[in-house]
Homo-oligomer: A and B are copies of this chain.
Amino acid sequence: MNVRQRPSIRDIADAAGVSPATVSLALNNVRGARIADATRLKVEKIAAELGYAPNGLAQALRTNRSHTLAIISEEIATAPYAGRLIRGAQEAASKHGWIMLIMSTGGAKEVEEREIEAVWRHQVDGVIYADTAHRIIDIPEALEGKPVFLANAEATHGDFWSVYPDEIQGGYVATRELIDAGHEEIGFVSTAMDIPARAGRLQGYRTALEEFGIRFDPRLVIEEASSFAEDGYRGAHSLLSRKKRPTAIFCFNDRMAMGAYRAAGEMGLLIPKDLSVVGFDNQEIIAEALSPQLTTVALPYYEMGAMAVEAVIAELQNGNTSKNPGAIPNALIKRESVGLLQ
């Protein structure tokens, strides 16, 4: 593990027979002060030969800009799909030559303080505050003084920019898919948890029904305590036991859809022939493993990560130019669990 010293701007200057300042100007293409083409070329050539790369720390110290963003999250990458958000953020940052730090707090205030302390020490330029499930959260005030951008979350107070899934549109597009297949008796197996997704998806469901003149029947909406496969099983079982059995079910998430599959199986119902199902989350590991594969709605994790980073970088570079993205749409992923009503 030999540590060979990297060449500095001065090494290039010596080799080229010019001053360090000239090297800096040449390499950075500073407008205003022009450098003779011959000099520039020579400098560039020598820099390449020496394998020169600027020392980002020195640059950052001097310019007071570290080109570094931090993504802070309570439970980083704990939710399987949350990795996509990080990935979107990281790739967007990398595209601009920026760096992403990651810090997870595990929910402990003390750890969070330590992480925010690190944000300051390392002169991070901006912060993406992300949540694994779309929630409304408090922003620690210790972060004041840095651009903070929320991803997959909304703030309780303060005017923070944020990007999160459009739950209403998500509920709409899922329901719409079922309506387009001819279904009118559409159940909604949901959760009673107090999160934006619950109200939003329900509203989207109702809007879609309304738009097509289908009467909303509250008895077709089941809200279970939680949102596990077991809850989906119970909800679906109860819906499918009605004398007028729904021909389609929209499930709050893929886990619940997995439970619905089991309920249907036990009752001898074939998907999608006897029952159509749409899930939510596009957890590929479930959606693709189910048989038939599950049609579902994909949350825009990658996009949220990327948009958050793009917005912060734009803000940092040009000032307040861009627009607060807010709610962004979800995509329907069509697979095999929706059938035309016979």
Residues in chain A within 8 A of chain B (CB atoms): 1-4, 6, 53-58, 60-61, 66, 68, 76-84, 86-87, 90-91, 94, 97, 99-104, 106, 111, 114-115, 117-118, 120-123, 144-148, 228-230, 233, 255, 258-259, 262, 265, 283, 285-286, 288-291, 315
Question: A165 → chain B, closest Cβ, in Å?
Answer: 19
Say whether, besides A122-B56, A122-B99, A289-B286, A87 and B77 are in contact (CB < 8 Å). Answer: yes
Say yes or no: A122 contacts B87, CB within 8 Å. Answer: no
Inside 8 A of A120's CB, which chain B residues have their CB? 6, 53
Say yes or no: A229 contacts B288, CB within 8 Å. Answer: yes
Say whether, besides A111-B94, A114-B94, A100 and B101 are in contact (CB < 8 Å). Answer: yes
Inside 8 A of A91's CB, which chain B residues have their CB? 104, 106
Task: Closest B residue to A161 by CB, please name it.
Answer: B1
Cα A55 to Cα B124 with chains together (Å): 11
Say yes or no: A101 contacts B99, CB within 8 Å. Answer: yes
Inside 8 A of A147's CB, which chain B residues have their CB? 1
Cα A325 to Cα B57 with chains together (Å): 32
Say yes or no: A57 contacts B53, CB within 8 Å. Answer: no
Given A6-B120, A76-B83, 17 further pairs, Cβ under 8 A: A1-B145, A1-B146, A56-B122, A76-B90, A77-B82, A77-B86, A78-B84, A80-B285, A83-B83, A87-B104, A90-B103, A97-B118, A100-B103, A228-B289, A229-B290, A255-B285, A262-B291
Return 7 A-B CB contacts under 8 Å, by A number. A3-B145, A55-B121, A100-B101, A100-B102, A229-B288, A229-B290, A229-B291
Say yes or no: B117 contacts A90, CB within 8 Å. Answer: no
Say yes or no: A145 contacts B286, CB within 8 Å. Answer: no
Inside 8 A of A146's CB, which chain B residues have their CB? 1, 3
Question: A259 → chain B, closest Cβ, in Å?
Answer: 7
Say yes or no: B87 contacts A78, CB within 8 Å. Answer: yes
Task: Closest B residue to A147 by CB, please name it.
Answer: B1
Inside 8 A of A262's CB, which chain B residues have their CB? 291
